[in-house]
Amino acid sequence: MPTHEDSNLSAAVAYAVDGDGIATLTIDMPGRSMNVLSDKMTEELAQLIERVATDAAVKGAIVTSGKSSFIAGADLRELEKLAFGLLVQDPGALLQHVAKMGNLWRKLERCGKPVVAAITGTALGGGLELCLACHHRIAADNPKAQLGLPEVKVGLLPGAGGTQRLPRLIGIRAALPLMLEGTSLSPRDALRAGFIHAVVPANELLSEAKRWLLGAPRAVAPWDTDGFIMPGVINGQRTDESAAFFAGAAARLQMKTLRNYPAPAAILSAVYEGTQVPIDAGLAIELRYFATLLRDPVAGNTVRTLFVNKQAADKLEARPSDIPHSKVEKVGVLGGGMMGQGIAYVSARAGMQVVIVDRNTDLANAAREHSRALLVKAEARGEEIAGGIEAVLSRIKPTADFSDLAGVDLIIEAVFEDRGVKADATARAQAVIPSGAVFASNTSSLPITSLAETFARPRQFIGLHFFSPVDRMQLVEVIPGAKTAPETLAKALDYVRQIRKTPIVVNDNRNFYTSRCFRVFPEEGMAMLAEGIAPALIENAGRMAGMPVGPLAVADEVSMQLMFSVRAAEKADVGAAYVSDPADPVLELFVQQLGRMGRKSKAGFYDYPDGDKKALWGGIQKHYPQAAVQPDVDHVRKRILYRQALEAARCLAENVITKPTDGDLGAVLGWGFAPYTGGPFCMIDTIGIRCFVAECEALAQAHGNRFEPPELLRQMAANGELFYPRSG
Amino acid sequence: MTDAYIYDHVRSPRGRGRPNGSLHGVTPIELVTQVLRAVRDRSQLDSSLIDDVVLGCVAPHQEQGANLGRVAALNADYHESVAGMQVNRFCASGLEAVNIGAAKVMAGASDLIVAGGVESMSRIAIGSDRGAWANDPKVAFKTYYTPQGIGADMIATLRDYSRTDVDAFAVESQQLAAAAWAEGRFKQSVLPIRDPLGLTLLEQDEHMRPTTTVSSLAALKPAFIAMGEAGYDSVLMQRYPHVEKIRHVHHGGNSSGIVDGAAAVLIGAEALGSAIGRKPRARIRAFASIGSEPAIMLTGPTLAANKVLRKAGMSRADIDLFELNEAFAAVALMFMDDMSVPRDRINVCGGAIAMGHPLGATGAMLVGTVLDELERRGLGTALVTLCVGAGMGTATIIERL
């Protein structure tokens, strides 16, 4: 009979006690596809755990989920609010707040009654930590379920006992990589790894849980028993193996993070220090490291851009809402080059029929073979290929005949970056495609409005700019032209969602957003080279800034010839309005005079010897002798990052992008801009706009007016504004 | 202030630092006990005249723990009035022990000191104490901890020393050491180590390979490539970002040998000479320690040498012989370049590449070696220096009397 107390309980967790005194807590958040540990959820669980602990009628408890997954982790929007809120400024108050969940799991662990976690499916982060605090863990046999502690991916660590319980269960050597990489395991693999006890068919999960409880098991965790010895410890001393592991791990972490990501280091320390003391002291150590990570800008910025805002973009928040949902059944790809191949691949994998058109059938077939190679690799990695490789390939039709494009819903033009070539392909496609089809161009630089003029129905023309390699790069820039209809934009976004990529909508402009901002990265590298800064310093600074490779290496990758010809085309197009860059003479030297184009020609800023690693070309010194006084690496890092951030800010100021979130997503997902910053706008907020403006002015004084901050930034500085206003 | 004099010194031979080494079966305390007895007995000392025993030891834990300085003195039947301490300045511990002894005498706090060191690397491995520097990830991260071999390879990269350069130096070390032993230059100061029956276990440095050539060394793979690729190259390059890539040139044949050994130096005030019936052999003129960049670690000697010269009011030209610990060949090449020391004035009896570097004892051994050589050649001054873990450097100037 529901009591007054019962009716105050939220619907999120059902609570029932059966005739044997077994309490079952069934977590099932209404309105969400997966359970998350929001503050409210934690509160509810606190009340119920208190009941389990204090109700004499309760002999044991089962914690389970009413969904096919268990608990997906923290509520990321709450996490973002917390990271940017006031609480993080007060260490004592913050510690109290973040201790709640861990204290609650510890209370459950020590309540004196046996508790079993009946894991229905995916259990991540705090959800898995809850399971680790239960005395017994059984999982449903679902190979797709993921069990893991992925907090490192949001710049945090498992702060509710994971760093202390997992090593005590399976040893330090086995536990650390799982937490440092944030790896998830299937239930069977988790069983093999040793952190769950059993895997059973899903329909036997609860009965098995009850059976265990009725066996009168001990309600004590291993680390709360006398004489507990952690795996990897002998006589209270770490084994040599464990000790050596930490030394090596510190070095490996510095190599991989280049000191930009504090979370792995904190995880290492939480485990190193916490496993030397009893568990309660270890949990306290873990908590303090967790709080320091929350106060570090990396966590908040990472959650904001890579999780909260990416999810919103993936859900097409930018899509015009009054237009019905559409689905592409058949897509035509013009051009089987590197981009066309990748676009065909992702489309076929998403279940679409794909027609690849190239100049001759050999080229078109080769494009299809690229998909085969990618599918084979994907399968080897353990990915599931729906229907199998041949089924996917059967959906790809290579051809040299444009008439095979009949019946397509969408065309993606990915031919050579030349107006004439594009116009020709457009005309030929236009002649055969249905009048309702959308025509998208993958151009990376030519303004869409101008290209749309070559198509009979500019309202149905749009830019869809992919990134190489298409199978791996998440971002698609969606660029409506001046005449593009809202329906076209909606359909384009629907397609991006079908291929499961992240769209940002960008206003038409030469080079759009990503190409315009990205290229200043290699350009600044070349500018510094021309000033006599040592090339190794430039490259190391680029990587240490968080870019995936150095700017000179990137120039080689992109091909200096391409960069040079884009510049030349721009000059031709805009004439007197062309603004030259310090990189221009460097490009001219390498492309026109030295014939060193980049990686494809095995010679650029680097030499690319067969069978060996690339190395900086020794001839650079002759053309750009190194200055006697070299700048500090931090200064070089700053130039590299600030130059890109300034260009992004200019794009916002000029309405090329309409909101900072697009700018941040585009930067991180499009060209790998220092992911730990959360993107250029997050970075500017973190530095502080006033401080950023002042630093840019100093850089402009020293190095040129490409560092002048745009008026938008000056105004924001004067008004004390932020790109992401704080809600307090 | 009083002056501090070296009256005598003695060392054990250096045993191979492996289970098959001739001193592997000798406990560290037994090893240093024999040396302490010898330094007392050679001068027929009444040990109650000794104020303190200062012993360097770089892994002072387990059987090298519990203050070997005091305990070995007791074990050697020194008078109970003799105090003892253990000191750790990493590779320079033995020299620092000498410097501490000298300082106490100069300050008038002590009159007679036995200063030296011991390290049984075959029994207590380097780094086995698992200190925070390399092992606490937070500390390793903060200090850019990098194993010294990588630092040596970075020096070779920065200074453009080729593989042949470092290997050629190693060959010289071997040849000079072999010649010195053959000529009996060490005989008066090396104590054969004996078993409980009095049978000799070892009487000569056994790490040496006199037939080493540049081509025999060329066959050896660089020892620190794997370690570098596992992360340490990146760590060090983050400290030295103008370097594109570290060239790995060091290996077991051009780095100091891992060995077992012990040494003792008798240091006292001038007044003690008559009390112990010995004439002093050299005056300890000056000593200094410094810190320098800890990640590359091995750049201390030049700074320490310059500081001690300044303290002594001397210039480089005033030094007749240099004795530098050959931690790695590149360290020696760099010191010679920086200090403009000609090859025939430094490590003239060979060095640690040939004979080995028993961590806590080496510094004291170098003092003895160079003093014997000053006497043999009739020269006046010597500067002893070592590169030291975490970027330190220690140096001492002695003046033959």
Does residue B91 have an active-site annotation?
yes
Does residue B357 have an active-site annotation?
yes
Contacts of A252 in chain B (CB under 8 A): 230-231
Amino acid at A314: D
User: Pick from A246, A540, A630: which is nearest to B137 by CB?
Assistant: A246
Q: What is the pLDDT of residues A297-332, one digit of tens each?
A: 999 999 999 999 999 999 999 898 899 999 999 999
How far, in Å, CA of B102 to CA of B287, rounded?
Answer: 9
Contacts of A534 in chain B (CB under 8 A): 242
ipTM exceeding cut-off 0.85 for this assembly: yes
Instruction: Check CB contact of A609 with chain B, cutoff 8 Å.
Output: no
Contacts of B243 in chain A (CB under 8 A): 536, 540
User: Pick from A259, A269, A615: which is nearest to B238 by CB?
Assistant: A259
Under an 8 A CB cutoff, do B241 and A544 touch?
A: yes
Long-range contacts of A690-696 (CB under 8 A, 24+ apart): A690/A717, A690/A720, A692/A642, A692/A645, A692/A717, A693/A717, A695/A638, A695/A642, A696/A642, A696/A646
> Mind telling me how many Å the CA of B149 is from chain A's nearest CA?
15
- Following DSSP, what letter does each residue of B297-361 receive, concatenated? ---HHHHHHHHHHHHHT--GGG-SEEEE--SBHHHHHHHHHHHT--GGGBSBTB-HHHH---TTT
Q: What percent of chain B has pLDDT over 70?
A: 100
User: Pick from B141, B242, B244: which is nearest to A254 by CB?
Assistant: B141
Does residue B349 have an active-site annotation?
no
Contact residues of B toward A, CB < 8 A: 130, 134-138, 140-141, 144-146, 230-235, 237-238, 241-245
CA angle, residues A60, A136, A40, in degrees to nearest 5: 70
Q: What is the pLDDT of residues B131-153, one digit of tens each?
A: 999 999 999 999 999 999 999 99
Q: pLDDT-derived band of residue A235, with 50, 70 and 90 as boundaries?
A: low
| Helix/strand/coil (H/E/C) assignment for every residue in A361-412 | HHHHHHHHHHHHHHHHHHHHCCCCCCCCHHHHHHCEEEECCHHHHCCCCEEE
Element at A293 (helix H, strand E)? helix A279-295
Q: What is the pLDDT of residues A432-444, one digit of tens each?
A: 999 999 999 999 8
User: Pick from B230, B243, B245: which is nearest to A248 by CB?
Assistant: B230
Instruction: Check CB contact of A134 with chain B, cutoff 8 Å.
Output: no
> Mind telling me how many Å the CA of B153 is from chain A's nearest CA?
17
Chain B residue closest in CA terms to A541: B241
What is the number of residues in chain A? 728
Under an 8 A CB cutoff, do B241 and A540 touch?
A: yes
The encoded tokens of residue A718 equal 């004067």
Contacts of A513 (CB under 8 A, 6+ apart): A477, A504, A506, A648, A651, A656, A657, A662, A663, A666, A670
Instruction: Check CB contact of A535 with chain B, cutoff 8 Å.
Output: yes
Q: What is the pLDDT of residues A332-382, one digit of tens each?
A: 999 999 899 999 999 999 999 999 999 999 999 999 999 999 999 999 988
Under an 8 A CB cutoff, do A251 and B235 touch?
A: yes
Q: What is the pLDDT of residues A568-611, one digit of tens each?
A: 888 888 889 898 899 999 999 999 999 999 998 999 999 999 99
Under an 8 A CB cutoff, do A249 and B241 touch?
A: no
Q: What percent of chain A has pLDDT over 90?
A: 88
Q: What is the pLDDT of residues A659-676, one digit of tens each?
A: 999 999 999 999 999 999
Element at A116 (helix H, strand E)? strand A115-119
Would the pLDDT of B52 be above 90?
yes
Residue A676: closest CA among A192, A296, A406, A394 = A296
pTM: 0.93
Chain A residue closest in CA terms to B141: A250
- Which one of the listed residues A109, A129, A208, A647 is annotated catalytic? A129
